[in-house]
């Protein structure tokens, strides 16, 4: 759905990984369809939450959008430029526009580089800054993420998990990107530290007008931070809509089950809640079921669900889901 004010537009994006057998003569014996036909449009300054369970392809989608994994098919248009076609130097230069924040702040920072080195490297990769001006730039970045500039000569091991994640965020902001993809940025952190990082990300997106895709398996965190939520199942988006609405009135049967499984920290409500328990594990993306990939686990399954993958059905403006019985199972109130 191309719209006029689309800042990021992903069209029919597919990432397939070959499964090969053999040592010298490789033979292709199958395909993992990690991302299988994603259409996504983000407006400038929008925060989109991407949720789904492990193996649903949400991280692969994030990495494919940033061209860390080359897409098999489809286009990614950021501010009018197709990233999917870029190669070599063009791609490297374009990377100044989009950055990633990773899950594990212990693994994503180089332990042998000081904070200054890490941030200065990020800045000088994309910008020509006179040597003398660099310390000021780095200090600015640090204060922007809530760290004191006097930590500039310290190494990652001298920081706590939350502080390291701040440094990782500073590194992503160093090139003044337009798009940030944050892949589970708070999942490795303790509750109280998680709150600091969530606050920081909200503050930064508001102040800098950043467009962000926030990937997480934690629905309550995603609801808190994003404007819209997209729910993924087996390489495809099954539902998309404004975050509070998706969380409070999920439309797709999978989203219903997912939301009902999120524990609420309120004993009175939690104990009288109806859970939708899904039978079995998600099917393998190597050999997805025919028709709607969710039908083997779906409590609303009918014969037609086996026929073809359902198209998006509009429910209300801005809310869509891929279920042929969408209106039937969600009668208007």
Partner 1 sequence: MPLLSVSNLSTAFHTRNGIVRAVNDVSFHVDKGETLGIVGESGSGKSVTCYSLMGLIPQPPGRIESGTAMFDGVDLLHCSKRQLSDLRGKRISMIFQDPMTSLNPYLRVGEQIIEPLLIHGKISRAEATERGIAALREVGIHDGAARMRAYPHQFSGGMRQRVMIAMAIITNPELLIADEPTTALDVTVQAEILDLIKKLQQDHGTAVVFITHDLGVVSGFCDRVQVMYAGRIVETAHVADVFREPKHPYNKALQRSIPAMQRKGAELYTIQGLPPDLSKPIPGCPFVPRCEYVQPECHAPVHLEAVAPDHESACTRVQRGTLHLREQPPETMSATRIDEAFTEEPPVSGRHGQQPV
Does residue 195 interact with partner 1 by CB under 8 A?
A: yes
Contact with partner 1 (CB under 8 A) among 92, 127, 136, 203: 203
x/- track of binding to partner 1 for residues 107-146 (CB under 8 A):
------------------------------------x--x
Q: How far is the CB of 135 from partner 1 (least distance, A)?
A: 18
Angle at 225 between CA 108 and CA 260, to 5 degrees: 105
φ/ψ (deg, to 5) at 129: -115, 130
Show the 3-state SS of 160-221: CHHHHHHHHHHHHHCCCCCEEEEECCCCCCCHHHHHHHHHHHHHHHHHHCCEEEEECCCHHH
Q: How far is the CB of 236 from partner 1 (least distance, A)?
A: 17
x/- track of binding to partner 1 for residues 258-277 (CB under 8 A):
x-xxxxxxxxx-xx-x-x-x
Q: How far is the CB of 296 from partner 1 (least distance, A)?
A: 14
Does residue 5 interact with partner 1 by CB under 8 A?
A: no
Q: Count residues near partner 1 (CB under 8 A).
A: 51
CB neighbours (10 Å) of residue 323?
Answer: 27
SS3 233: strand
The answer to whether the CB of 283 falls within 8 A of the CB of 234 is yes
What is the distance between the terminal CA atoms of the chain, rounded to a whole angstrom? 28
**CA dihedral defined by 284, 290, 291, 297, rounded to 10 degrees?**
-50
x/- track of binding to partner 1 for residues 237-256 (CB under 8 A):
------xx------------
Question: Scanning residues 145 to 164, which ones bind partner 1 (CB under 8 A)?
Answer: 146-148, 151, 154, 157-160, 163
Indicate the residue among 8 and 51 with the shorter CB distance to partner 1: 51
In the DSSP assignment, the letter for residue 157 is G
SS3 135: helix
Q: How far is the CB of 84 from partner 1 (least distance, A)?
A: 30
Q: How far is the CB of 32 from partner 1 (least distance, A)?
A: 16
- Interface residues toward partner 1, by CB under 8 A: 53-54, 143, 146-148, 151, 154, 157-160, 163, 190-192, 194-196, 198-200, 202-203, 217, 219-221, 223-225, 243-244, 257-258, 260-268, 270-271, 273, 275, 277-278, 281
């Amino acid at each position: 759905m191309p719209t006029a004010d689309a800042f990021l537009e992903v069209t029919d994006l597919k990432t397939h990984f070959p499964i090969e057998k053999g040592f010298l003569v490789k033979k292709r014996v199958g395909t993992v369809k990690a991302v299988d036909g994603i259409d996504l449009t983000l407006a400038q300054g929008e925060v989109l939450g991407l949720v789904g369970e492990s193996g649903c392809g949400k991280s692969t989608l994030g990495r494919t959008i940033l061209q860390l994994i080359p897409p098999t098919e489809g286009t990614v248009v950021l501010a009018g430029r197709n990233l999917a076609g870029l190669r070599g130097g063009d791609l490297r230069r374009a990377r100044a526009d989009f950055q990633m924040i990773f899950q594990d702040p212990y693994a994503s920072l180089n332990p042998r580089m000081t904070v200054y080195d890490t941030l200065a490297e990020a800045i000088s990769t994309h910008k020509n800054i006179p040597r003398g001006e660099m310390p000021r730039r780095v200090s600015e970045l640090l204060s922007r993420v809530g760290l004191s500039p006097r930590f500039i000569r310290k190494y990652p091991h001298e920081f706590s998990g939350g502080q390291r994640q701040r440094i990782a965020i500073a590194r992503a902001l160093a090139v003044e990107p337009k798009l940030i993809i944050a892949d589970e940025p708070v999942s490795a952190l303790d509750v109280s530290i998680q709150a600091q990082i969530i606050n920081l990300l909200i503050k930064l997106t508001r102040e800098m007008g950043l467009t962000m895709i926030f990937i997480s398996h934690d629905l309550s965190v995603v609801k808190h931070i994003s404007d819209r939520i997209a729910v993924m199942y087996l390489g495809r988006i099954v539902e998309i809509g404004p975050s509070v609405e998706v969380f409070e009135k999920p439309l797709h049967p999978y989203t219903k089950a997912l939301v009902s499984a999120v524990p609420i920290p309120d004993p009175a409500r939690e104990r009288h809640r109806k859970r939708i328990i899904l039978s079995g594990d998600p099917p393998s993306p190597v050999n997805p079921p025919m028709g709607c990939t969710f039908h083997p686990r779906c409590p609303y399954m009918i014969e037609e669900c086996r026929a073809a993958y359902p198209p998006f059905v509009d429910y209300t403006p801005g809310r869509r889901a891929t279920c042929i019985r969408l209106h039937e199972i969600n009668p208007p109130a």
